[in-house]
Amino acid sequence: MATTNSPMRNPTSVNKDARLDQSRWQTIWTYLAATHDTRNETVKARLRRYSLPILIMVMLFFVSLSQGAAYFVMNLPWAIVGIFSVYMLLVPFINFNEAIPIEAKASGRLIILVTTFLSVNISYNTLYGTLSGDTQGTVSLPLALVVISLSAMAWLFITRGRLTQAGDVTVLMLLILSCTPLIIAYGSFGTVVNQPIPVDNRVGAGVLYFGGYLLVLLMPYFIYRNWQRILLAGLITVGIHSVGIRTATTMGDVSQLIVSNYVLINSVLFAAIFAFVNQELRRREQEFLVLIDTLEHRVEARTQELAEALKITEVARDEADRANNVKSAFLASMSHELRTPLNAIINFSKYLKKGGAGDVNEKQEHLMGLVSESGEHLLTLINDVLDMSKIEAGSLKLYVENAVDLRDTIELAISFTQSLGNDKPIELKTEIPEVFPVITADRKRLLQVLLNILSNAFKFTEEGEIVVRATSDDKKVLISITDTGHGIAPEDHDSVFEAFKQTESGLQQGGHGSGLGIPISKKLVEAHEGRLWLESELGKGTTFHVELPLESSLVPTRS
Amino acid sequence: MHNVLYVEDDAMSREVLGMIADLNPGLMAVRTLPNSQDFEAYLLNGNPKPDIIFLDIHMAPIDGLEMLTIIRNHASFNDIPVVAVTASVMNEEIVLLQGAGFDSILAKPLDMDRFPENLNRILKGEMIWIF
């Protein structure tokens, strides 16, 4: 349970105004707590605003009724005028420091109400006495000034934010109200009380009255949270007060008891109301604090969850890294281990075929040729797999040079693949302008792309022609390789660019290869910020288009 | 006729260079060394300076990179073009070799048919990176 003196627990930053609207004391409390803009107030709203003062007046009315019309006439009008005038004039304009909690604002206004009432009443009393010369039943001027000063002090304290704790406010209120025994002791309250209190007992009475209040004050702060307890404390105080009155005055006149008690009752009622609302506030505050606590717990739990999830992600990432490293190491060794024997296979067979170890007959030459071709084919497959894995790992690096002569590259590609068409009635045509742009690119990789496309063209064309066309404009170059092969079915157009896929027709043709040539080419062209696509018609042929930009963001590779 | 020194621990690869020499008479005189110790001995013994040195990268106890440093620090051998010969063509390795200062990089298996042309281009000062 938070104590009243722990500012940290006062959630002033929260807009508690919004939360206070469910209580049945809404009218009174929100009225007290809110800052009013009276400019556009409806009559209904205005009446609501005055409900508390009205309530108080009704209370006083009934209390003072017991004293007869005289009291009613004498004191009530002053009270009405006093309270309403002050309230209407001042309260809406009281600019509470925003940092003051709502309960302090509300109880501050209560204090202002009460002290205003007291001040006005006392002022009237003094004035009446001074004017009529009858100082017997009036309050002395110094005392009046004391009460008024205390009221003003209370007002200042609260509005300037010196008193922000509800408990303090309650205490201050009761302090001020405890002045009334002094008043009663040293002068009667209002002219209705015609029998002044005997002087010789005034001190005693005052002590008793004051003592009664002190008793309430000395009780621990926490009782002020409970309106029942306050009522109880008030009743005790009333009891003491009454005893005091009875000792101080002549017995029998109960009306005096009531009259002098009315302030006490009022103050007790005020305190009770205040405490009740306070209790409500505190209950909500507790709820709110519990909510905050649970929120804190929930946030903590969530943070915990997230931390664990992060740990899992980190572990997963570490494992992924490790897996990647293993894969890289594997590929590195595979690259090395697989290529070394190929050195012997390819080159030894070539050597033998060329007669390096002596004359060979036709059959031997033929077979050696097949061995070296197979070796080279195997090498291509290994290179393709390596390329693909590099591409997938995102680690394919281009070796970029300035001024790569595309014309040269195309012609080189043609010269490499020409022999593939030796056994077939295929005519190779080229349409390349004499002057053709140079671009910044990886020469070797572009050659690889063209070789892939050309070898595909030769592979899938039985007869006819393969045309290599090169065109350019001021933004890009376009290299198109058209064959008169059997074409690619529309549903297979996309899968041509997918790794490891061979089309139905391709397989039927007995096509071997890794199925990686075109996919790799596509990635290579895209790495040059270009495009690779195809047009094809079954039975007619296929055209591959390679488009490369003249300007790209590629920069020459410097080691 | 170029004098070629080839340091290579794989016997078959050494043979391949010999075969290339056979098939291309007058191209080169090949001298092969099977390991780095022999290479160091060759350097120490004041042997004739080759026109070009081919170094296999994956050797032990000293690999091709270290041997390159030795050559570059040698009084008279430091201006000979040195070509790296490697069967591993992973990016990391290539970057390493490029940064080490080899004059060219050839990948195994060697392209027998283009070797003469490549050799001449390297000797003319061209940097060939074939892998």
H or E stretch covering B4: strand B2-7
CA distance A488 to A535: 9
Question: Strand B2-7 vs strand B28-33: parallel, antiparallel, or unpaired?
Answer: parallel
- Please choose, from the candidates A157, A173, A190, the residue with its C-alpha nearest in 3D space to the C-alpha of residue A116: A173
Cis peptide leading into A53, omega within 30 of 0?
Answer: no
Tracing tokens 């940064």 back to the chain, one arrives at B99
**Angle (deg, nearest 10), helices A254-353 and A227-248:** 160
Instruction: Say if residues A107 and A89 touch (Cβ distance below 8 Å).
Output: no
Residue A206, both tokens: 């005052």
Residue A543 has pLDDT above 90, yes or no: yes
b/e map of A486-504 (b: 16 or more CB within 10 Å)?
bbbeeebeebbbebeebbe
Contacts of A541 (CB under 8 A, 6+ apart): A461, A464, A482, A483, A484, A485, A486, A487
Would you state the structure tokens that stand for residue B86, as one six-digit string?
């490697």
Local structure of A155: helix, strand or coil: helix
Tokens of B28: 């080169």
pLDDT of residue B82: 93
Least confident of A306-320, A429-443, A449-463, A511-525: A511-525
CA–CA dist A448, A380 (Å, integer): 11
Task: Return all residues near B27 (Cβ < 8 A) that are at least 6 apart.
Answer: B1, B2, B20, B21, B116, B119
The per-residue pLDDT for B74 is 85
Is A547 within 8 Å of A437 (Cβ atoms)? no
Per-residue pLDDT at A482 exceeds 90 = yes
For chain B, say whether A356 makes contact (Cβ under 8 Å): yes
Overall pTM surpassing 0.80 (yes/no)? no
Q: Which chain A residues have a beta carbon less than 8 Å from that of B93?
A: 332
User: Does A346 touch chain B if contact means CB atoms closer than 8 Å?
Assistant: yes
Question: What pLDDT was estimated at residue A72?
Answer: 41
Chain A residues with beta carbon closer than 8 angstroms to that of B58: 336
pLDDT category of residue B3 using cuts at 50, 70 and 90: very high
Distance from CA of B18 to the nearest CA of A (A): 10
Rounded CA separation B39/B62 (Å): 10
| Rounded percentage of chain B residues whose pLDDT exceeds 90 | 27
Question: Is residue A384 less than 8 Å (CB to CB) from chain B?
Answer: no
What b-and-e string marks burial along B12-25, b requiring 16 or more CB atoms within 10 Å of the CB?
Answer: bbbbbbebbbebee
- Of A260, A140, A262, A128, which Cα lies nearest the Cα of A197? A260
Q: Measured between beta carbons, which residues in chain B are less than 8 angstroms from residue A347?
A: 16, 19-20, 109-110, 112
Work out the average pLDDT over A342-350.
Answer: 90
Point out which residues pair with B86 in neighbouring strands: B107
Backbone angles phi, psi at A544, to 5 degrees: -100, 135
Residues 22-51 of B with CB under 8 A from A: 22-23
Q: Do B13 and A351 touch (CB under 8 A)?
A: no
- Tens of pLDDT along B73-122? 888 888 899 999 988 777 677 778 878 888 888 988 888 888 999 999 99
Alpha carbons A418 and A451: distance in angstroms, whole number = 10
Structure tokens at B85: 């010969």
Degrees to nearest 5, angle at CA A167 with A162 and A168: 35
Measured in angstroms, the CA of A390 and the nearest CA of chain B are apart by 8
Per-residue pLDDT averaged across A492-514, rounded? Answer: 65
Are β-strands A476-483 and B2-7 bridged in parallel, bridged antiparallel, or unpaired? unpaired
Q: Is A470 helix (H, G, I), strand (E, B) or coil?
A: strand
Q: Which residues of A touch B86 (CB under 8 A)?
A: 336
